[in-house]
Amino acid sequence: MLFSRERRSSEVEAAALPHLSDIYRTATRLLSDSTRAEDVMQEVYLQAWKSFDRFETGTNCRAWLFKILFNTLHHYRRKWFNIRMVKESEEVIEQTAAYAPPVPERITDEEVLAALAEVPDDFRSVVLLVDVEEFSYKESAGILNIPIGTVMSRLSRGRKLLRERLSGVARSYGIGNVTQEGQSA
Amino acid sequence: MNVISHGDSACEKIRGYLDSYISNELLVETNHEVLRHLEGCPTCAAEVEARSRVRTRLKAAVESQQVPAGLPIKIRQMIHRRQSRFLPTAAWSLWAMAAAAAVVLAAGIWVTRARTGMPESLDVADRAGQDVFIQKVSQTVSRVLRVGLGDHIHCAVFRRYPKNPPAVAQLAESIGPAFQGLVPVVQASVPDRYRIIMAHQCGYSGRRFVHVALSDGSNLMSLVIARKEPGESLEGLSPSTRASGVPVYQGQAERYEIAGFETAQYLAFVISDLNAGNNLLMASNLAFPVHDFLAKL
Q: What is the pLDDT of residue B28?
A: 92
Predicted pLDDT of residue A63: 93
In the sheet that holds B266-272, the strands lie side by side as B195-204, B207-215, B220-227, B266-272, B256-262, B249-253
- What's the mean per-residue pLDDT of chain B? 79
pLDDT exceeds 90 at position B66: no
Nearest to A34 by CA among B69, B59, B58, B78: B69
Taking the C-alpha atoms of residue A8 and residue B79, their distance in angstroms, rounded to an integer, is 10
Give the model's pLDDT for residue B275.
86
**Is B42 within 8 Å of chain A by CB?**
no
Q: Which of A10, A42, A100 shows the shortest C-beta gap to B75?
A: A42
| Residue B273 and residue B256 in contact, taking contact as beta carbons nearer than 8 Å | yes
Which of A41, A170, A52 lies closest to A103, judged by CA?
A170
pLDDT of residue A162: 93
How far apart, in whole angstroms, are the C-alpha atoms of residue A127 and residue B58? 10
Sort residue B202 into left (φ over 0), alpha (ψ -120 to 50) or beta. beta
| Partner-chain contact A38 B47, CB within 8 Å | no
Q: Give me the pLDDT at residue A141, please.
A: 95
pLDDT digits (tens, 9 = 90+) for B69-79: 788 888 887 87
Own/partner long-range contacts of A70-78 (Cβ < 8 Å, ≥24 apart): A70/A125, A70/A143, A70/A144, A70/A145, A71/A47, A72/A40, A72/A43, A72/A44, A72/A47, A73/A27, A73/A30, A73/A31, A73/A40, A76/A31, A76/A36, A76/A39, A76/A40, A76/A43, A77/A121
Would you say residue A176 has pLDDT above 80?
A: no
Spatial contact of A177 and A185, defined as CB atoms under 8 Å apart: yes
**E strand or H helix at B227, and its extent?**
strand B220-227
- Which stretch of B57-61, B100-104, B168-172 has the lowest confidence by average pLDDT? B100-104
Structural domain spans, chain B:
8-40, 71-134, 141-295
Q: How far is B41 from chain A (nearest CA, A)?
A: 12
At A33 the three-state DSSP class reads coil
Put simply, the answer to whether A98 touches B12 (Cβ < 8 Å) is yes
Amino acid at A25: R
| Cross-chain residue pair A100–B47, CB shorter than 8 Å | yes
Whether A125 has a pLDDT exceeding 80, the answer reads yes
Which pLDDT does position B283 carry in this prediction?
Answer: 93
Q: Residue B273 gets which letter from DSSP?
A: S
Q: Identify the helix (H) or strand (E) that includes residue A62.
A: helix A61-80
The mean pLDDT of B103-119, rounded to a whole number, is: 46
Neighbouring residues of A133: CB distance < 8 A, sequence distance ≥ 6: A22, A26, A66
CB contact under 8 A, B285 and A98: no
CA neighbor of B285 nearest in space, from B246, B250, B235: B246
Task: Compute the nearest-CA separation of B47 from chain A (Å).
Answer: 8
- Give CA angle at B151 (B264, B184), nearest 5°: 65
Q: What is the pLDDT of residue B104?
A: 52
Q: Is B243 on the interface with A (CB under 8 A)?
A: yes
> Is A13 an interface residue toward B (CB < 8 Å)?
yes
Looking at residue A5, its pLDDT comes to: 59
Helix axis angle for A20-31 and A34-50, nearest 10°, is: 130
Domain B141-295 annotated CATH 3.30.200.100: yes
Name which of A54-58, A104-108, B206-210 the model is least confident about.
Answer: A54-58
Q: Do B149 and B271 touch, CB atoms closer than 8 A? A: yes
The amino acid present at A4, given as its one-letter code, is: S
Tell me how far apart the 2 most distant CA atoms of chain A are, in Å: 72
CB contact under 8 A, A21 and B78: no
Residue with the larger pLDDT of the pair B22 and B82? B22
Chain B nearest-CA distance from A115, in A, is 10
DSSP state of B207: E
d(CA B77, CA B107): 35
Q: Which amino acid is at A116?
A: L
pLDDT confidence tier of residue B130, bands split at 50, 70 and 90: low
Is residue B281 within 8 A of residue B236, CB to CB? The reply is no
B43 touches chain A (CB under 8 A): yes
* Min distance A3 CA to chain B CA atoms (Å): 6
- The pLDDT tens digits of the residues spanning B2-24 come to 333 345 788 989 999 999 999 98
CB-based contact B1 A97, cutoff 8 Å: yes
Task: Note which residues in 159-218 of chain B have CB less than 8 A from chain A.
Answer: 190-191, 193, 216
A52 or A156: whose pLDDT is higher?
A156
Q: Distance (Å, rounded) from C-alpha B42 to C-alpha B109? A: 84
CB-based contact (8 Å) between A33 and chain B?
A: no
Nearest to B6 among A28, A156, A182 (CB): A182
Compute the distance between CA of residue B197 and CA of residue B220 in angstroms, rounded to an integer. 9
Segment B244-269, tens digit of pLDDT: 889 999 888 877 889 999 999 999 99
Task: Give the ipTM of the model, two decimals please.
Answer: 0.82
